Structure 1
Amino acid sequence: MGPQRIVCLTEEPTETLYLLGEQDRIVGISGFTVRPAIARKEKPKVSAFTSAKIGEILKLQPDFVVGFSDIQAEIASELIKHGIEVWISNHRSVAGILDYIRRLGALVGAGDRADALAGEYERRIADVQARAAAMPRRPRVYFEEWDTPPITGIRWVSELVGIAGGDDVFPERAAMSLARDRILADPLEVVRRAPDLILGSWCGKKFRPEQVAAREGWDAIPAVRDGELHEIKSPIILQPGPAALTAGLDALSAIVQAWSAKQR
């Protein structure tokens, strides 16, 4: 049976449960939920990312609350004090996303379906890697998660860039889970690393390539010189759930493959 009244504090458990056909268990969701679109119409919104309407959540009488990361530790603590069972996942990698899908499925009694879904994503990843392996050259990629100050991409994004056929120019920063540890103190470091592609996914706002291209000294970057600045919408890449492995990876692959085609 598993839990019957689930509150999802972020989007990835909501999307996963809908994909598993277990959406009827969900009684509350994050206000930032985009996928699936129907969830916003069907489910009450009871949380942001760093805050939640504790009273509203308690009124829903959940028997299980699912959240993500240490950033939601205070929300989890408050709910636990009210006797609510809470699971806060803290995965930051592609392998972690796949494991998360399998674990969440097992928790709601849908382990076989979750394993099948994760297996489907593993095959998608292998297909994208195979296409990438056929490229004559891999582009150097700068992924920007925020603009003021510039913040580089997190681990699962960096790994997806690699799967799509690119090489993250800040791989050492990707391992740092907190955004504050991925802030670029010197934006000219991007110039020195000379990316062929600049990908922007400014969490919650539109990427402005013209603003990026106008940064001091950035006209020397190959990506700026060649007009290779692209947006990837944040809901499909900045949450460690199914969207990143599907729409997010597809978007990355399309950009990298288009760049590769121009090199021939």
Structure 2
Amino acid sequence: MRFPYTFTDQMGHQITLPHLPQHIVSLVPSQTELLFDLGLEDRIVGLTKFCIHPKDKVKQKSIIGGTKNFKLEVIDELKPDLIIGNKEENYEKGIAALQEKYPVWMSDIYTLEDSLEMISQIGKLTGTEVKAQKLVQGIALGFEKLRPAQPAIPTAYFIWRKPYMAVGSDNFIDHMLQRYGLSNIFADQPRYPEISPEQLQAANPQLILLSSEPYPFQEKHFAEFRELCPQAKIKVVDGEIFSWYGSRLLKAPEYLQGVIAEVK
């Protein structure tokens, strides 16, 4: 690829890179991990406080704030020639401020296919197409082998407590659930609805999944859900596997197959 080169991101924005990026800021944890897995450690200069993987490497990078509250002055000091963000995880005002100064490439992820396209595009952006394509092929092959639950299991997936918040429609976790036979009972709700105890009882899920993030659900929380839905199976699941849409997807099929086998 010859530079300068113009790229179109997943939100339809165009950015032009005059040269291969050497100072990259990542605004999203799952995409930060992807950048490291593409071998870009020496070119990553900044990331968010929520970027926790790979644990031994992220500590060496500058922290630019959170995913929804950037420290713009820190980013300016890093002089990035590429910033990589995401529509859902970042905030419009902060992204707009960055777009006035820097090339900002935005992902917009709803499905596994969106994730694979994002990985391919970031490979092109950073000159790591070969590694990115190997990742895409590995992830796609793993998911092709995954056997969905049959018949589908009516499932509630909770991400927060006090108030209870579940996964609704039109988001990546809902896609992951539906794709593999865990039928989201709140798929008719907004993206992340607040759910009352009475709503949960009325929905009567066969399976309740409690995510390890953003709320750190643990087995000690089973009792309150069991009181509402005594017939349901309850399980704490790895929230990163269900919601991180970068290179962590390599680990997802084996984990999801284990979940399906356990809750059938």
Give the TM-score of the pair, scaled to structure 2: 0.81
| Alignment check: 8 A CA contact 1:69 1:89 kept | yes
Aligned-partner Cα distance in 2 for 1:148–1:252: 27
Residue number in structure 2 paired with 1:172: 188
Aligned-partner Cα distance in 1 for 2:45–2:77: 10
Residue among 107, 118, 133 paired with 1:89: 107
Letter matched to residue 80 of structure 1: Q
Residue among 188, 211, 214 paired with 1:201: 211
Distance 1:215 1:183, change over 3 A: same
Matched, 1:189 2:207: no
| Alignment check: 8 A CA contact 1:50 1:72 kept | yes
Matched, 1:241 2:259: no
Residue number in structure 1 paired with 2:261: 257
Aligned-partner Cα distance in 1 for 2:224–2:120: 44
Distance 1:41 1:120, change over 3 A: same
Aligned-partner Cα distance in 2 for 1:164–1:215: 23
Within 5 Å, which residues of 2 pair with 1:125-164? Answer: 125-128=143-146, 131-132=147-148, 137-153=151-167, 155-164=171-180
Residue among 90, 111, 116 paired with 1:98: 116
Gaps of 5+ in 2: 1-18
**Pairwise CA RMSD of aligned residues?**
2.4
Aligned-partner Cα distance in 2 for 1:112–1:3: 17
| Alignment check: 8 A CA contact 2:161 2:215 kept | no
Instruction: String of CA shifts for 1:219-253, please: whole Å, max 9, x gaps.
Output: 44x21xxxx2221233333333232x234454333
| Alignment check: 8 A CA contact 1:144 1:202 kept | no
| Alignment check: 8 A CA contact 2:160 2:214 kept | no
Distance 1:44 1:194, change over 3 A: same
* Larger displacement relative to structure 2 (60-69 or 164-173): 164-173
Q: Tell me the secondary structure at the aligned position of residue 144 of structure 1.
A: strand
Q: Tell me the secondary structure at the aligned position of residue 101 of structure 1.
A: helix
Q: Tell me the secondary structure at the aligned position of residue 104 of structure 1.
A: helix
Give 1:189 shift: 2.4
Q: Tell me the secondary structure at the aligned position of residue 216 of structure 2.
A: coil
Aligned-partner Cα distance in 2 for 1:3–1:237: 30
Instruction: String of CA shifts for 1:163-221, please: whole Å, max 9, x gaps.
Output: 44322212223xx45x3xx222x33222222222211115344204444532596144x
Give 1:120 shift: 1.2
| Alignment check: 8 A CA contact 1:160 1:249 kept | no
| Alignment check: 8 A CA contact 2:138 2:250 kept | no
Distance 1:248 1:147, change over 3 A: farther
Residue number in structure 1 paired with 2:97: 78
Give the TM-score of the pair, scaled to structure 1: 0.81
Give 1:56 shift: 1.1
| Alignment check: 8 A CA contact 2:212 2:218 kept | no
Q: Tell me the secondary structure at the aligned position of residue 91 of structure 1.
A: coil
Q: Which has the higher helix share?
A: 1
| % identical equivalent positions | 22
Letter matched to residue 236 of structure 2: E
* Larger displacement relative to structure 2 (55-64 or 89-98): 89-98
* Larger displacement relative to structure 2 (211-220 or 191-200): 211-220
Residue number in structure 2 paired with 1:119: 137
Distance 1:148 1:251, change over 3 A: farther
Aligned-partner Cα distance in 1 for 2:52–2:211: 15
